[in-house]
Amino acid sequence: MAELDIANLSLSFGGLTVLEDLSLSVEPGELFALIGPNGAGKTSVFNCISGIYHPSAGSIRFRGRNILGLDPSQVARAGLARTFQHGELFGEMSVIDNLLAARHAKFRTNVLAEALFLPSVRRQELAHREAVEKIIEFTELEPVRHAPVGGLPFGIQKLAGFARALAMEPDFLMLDEPSAGLNRDEREDLARFLLRIKHELGLAMIWIEHDMQMVADLADRLHVLDYGRTISVGKPQEVLNDPEVIKAYLGLAV
């Protein structure tokens, strides 16, 4: 069974059709890339999955369970974590606090116990602090763990956003242009992290990307969107040589 199964999804804002009859499925452990020119509707797909946008038709199932109609926090609790295009971290909070905030739903404390910082609260804080430290180690954020995220360089912020999604211990990861704005070294680090997640954690990932070289090298399968419509799906080499895809990207005459 596919991890994520989207069938006949349509989304429109007023008269503007954003997504039209989109179907895709992501297999377990697969690195699935979603590509397309600007405005193709890639991030809108994520927002539909996350419950931020409400599609007009179609279905979204995660491991067979319908997740369409859940609100964003319920989708997150169902095991789907995402990153945001511009990082969207909580700038005033430290890296540790950003990661701990992502584990919010895993805590079992109530506000009265927290007000008194009872031993049960202390115990959970400690356990989650240790779990967060593993993610910090994985993403090599040790030197900046106490620093407020807003003051960190952009590349590190993107990495912290990536770490925050991992801190949720998700079953499925949605990455919205993780490489945008990164330099070559940072991209290579990112590629390494993606492969480690794929091989060590075995997470299925859906990945929005503009760097075609990275996509061609890393992705298992590609899905190309243009103006909300699917124009090609398949292995990287087949898709990137598809005349329709080349036309969408380069605008060749028919």
Partner 1 sequence: MSKPLPNASGHFRRSHADEFRLIETGFSRTMLALFIIALVSFPFLFSSFYVDLAAQVFLASIGALSLMLLTGIAGQISLGHAGLIAAGAFTAGILFKEFALPFWVTIPAAALVGAGIGVLFGLPSLRLRGLYLAVSTLALHFIVVFLGGEYETRRGFSTGILIDPPVVFGYEVYSTRAWYFTLAVAAAVTLWICINLMRSRSGRAWKSIHANETVAEAIGIGVTRYKLLAFVVSSSMTAVAGALFAYYRGFVSIEAFSLYLTIQYVAMIIIGGMGSLLGALLGAVFVTLFPYIIEALVSVLPGADRLAGSVFAFNYAAFGIVMILFLVFEPQGLVGIWRRIRDYFVLWPFRFKAMGGRK
Q: Which of 8, 54, 105, 241 binds partner 1 (CB under 8 A)?
A: 105
Query: Which window, 14-22, 53-61, 72-80, 195-203, contacts partner 1 (CB under 8 A)?
Result: 72-80
Nearer to partner 1 (CB atom), residue 74 or residue 183: 74
| 76: contact with partner 1 by CB under 8 A | yes
Smallest distance from partner 1 to CB 4, Å: 16
Structure tokens, 199: 């091989």
x-marked contacts with partner 1 along 153-172 as a string, rule CB under 8 A: -----------x---x----
How many residues interact with partner 1 (rule CB under 8 A)?
48
Of 26-34, 84-92, 190-198, 207-215, the segment contacting partner 1 by CB under 8 A is 84-92
Distances (CA, A) of 184 to 170, 194, 211, 234: 28, 15, 11, 27
Question: For partner 1, which residue of 39, 69, 91, 234 counts as binding (CB under 8 A)?
Answer: 91
Which of 63, 109, 181, 249 binds partner 1 (CB under 8 A)? It is 109
Q: Is 146 in the site for partner 1 (CB under 8 A)?
A: yes
| Residue 81 C-alpha from the chain's centroid | 6
Q: Is 13 a binder of partner 1 (CB under 8 A)?
A: no
Which of 104, 134, 192, 199 is close enough to bind partner 1 by CB under 8 A?
104
Q: Is 107 in the site for partner 1 (CB under 8 A)?
A: yes
Contact positions vs partner 1 (CB under 8 A): 50, 52, 71-73, 75-77, 81-82, 84, 88-94, 96-97, 100-102, 104-105, 107, 109, 111, 114-117, 121-122, 125-126, 129-130, 133, 143-148, 152, 164, 168
